[in-house]
Homo-oligomer: A and B are copies of this chain.
């Protein structure tokens, strides 16, 4: 994070710890041999400990979107009634995949920046059905909002207890509280390049016994993304198709680092960096995109000042070594997003706030030098309980 090493603050791929990076340089092994079986079995057991689940967890060689596709085609049939709860671009994508494969999808959309409302979900479920599945997004990366999955899942279980709960947890799981079994979630998808601090190329999917029952009669066409084939292979320590071995090497190391820190400490750290970023941005005069009650602790979105072009704004940040993400869909060119998941510390986000402060000064905006960095630090220390 000096002049030559930019501060990569996008919501994935996230920056890799050195030990994880270096594992990417390992020589290949036979993916059908005993070393690989030991590696995969050990990775799966550790993934379960972060998913907080006793369900199967399978590894798919694909981006997170491929994991989402596997979560649709492995369990559903054309014509199935599916509720797609969406609060942004990734919720829309999830619903779209189900539609493409022939599900009868009812889309329940909430305003971008807002979380999904369990009462509204209850209402829509009551009005239709029978529901085969409900799709929901844990942490909506496009709007920087974290949905109250526990409440949403409870609402579904109350009104449509037979519906499978299929959750996109790609950009939150492993960073912020997520309890697969306690919340009764059937299928949960995550991706290597997010909280897991690993390069992109792998997606993880947990599958409940109830979902496996559904898989037995699921009729959507599938081959590469057939999770039942992945389960069969995993039972002998293999994958049905050649896995991204190098990314698995990295994951092996990253899971050790995560286990050393511990899940509670990881969650607390993300709470602190999330609070820091929001406090810093607010102090700089930025308007945040997310409803404060549901602001994500893995990514923050804010509006670019109205008189400034995205390209100008982003160019200045890049020159100072800060790499952020732009807006998606209707928000393209209007917002920027700061990722703070996985390999992230309080100093790393203070660095980002410092660059933004300098940029706002360069743009002639009225900011009090040092105030945003100080506010961010105080917010982080408060979240850690070190300051009242």
Measured CB to CB, the residues of A under 8 A from B are: 5, 8, 10, 12-16, 21-33, 61-66, 69, 96-97, 100-102, 191, 193, 199-201, 220-225, 240-247, 250, 323, 325-326
Task: Pick the 3 closest A-B CB pairs, nearest first.
Answer: A201-B244, A24-B24, A199-B246
List B contacts of A223 (CB < 8 A). 65, 69, 96-97, 100-101
A191 and B31 CA atoms in complex are apart in Å by: 15
Which residues of chain B are within 8 angstroms of A100 by Cβ–Cβ distance? Answer: 221-223
Cβ B32 vs Cβ A325 within 8 A: yes
Establish whether residues B28 and A199, one from each chain, have CB atoms under 8 Å apart when the complex forms: yes
B32 engages A244 (CB within 8 Å): no
Q: How many copies does the complex hold?
A: 2
What are 23 A-B contacts defined by CB distance under 8 Å?
A: A8-B27, A13-B31, A16-B27, A16-B28, A21-B27, A24-B25, A28-B193, A32-B326, A61-B63, A62-B66, A64-B242, A65-B240, A66-B66, A66-B224, A69-B224, A96-B223, A101-B223, A193-B242, A199-B244, A200-B242, A200-B243, A200-B244, A244-B244
In the bound complex, how far is the Cα of B10 from the Cα of A13, in angstroms?
31
Of A23, A27, A32, most buried by chain B (CB within 10 Å of CB) is A27
Other CB < 8 Å A-B pairs besides A191-B242, A201-B246, 18 of them?
A: A8-B27, A8-B29, A31-B200, A32-B325, A61-B66, A62-B241, A63-B241, A64-B242, A65-B223, A69-B223, A69-B224, A199-B246, A200-B243, A200-B246, A220-B221, A244-B247, A246-B246, A246-B247
Q: A12: which B residues are within 8 A, CB to CB?
A: 242
In whole angstroms, how far apart are the Cα atoms of A237 and B68 in the complex? 24
Which residue from B21, B241, B242 sits with its C-beta under 8 Å from A13? B242
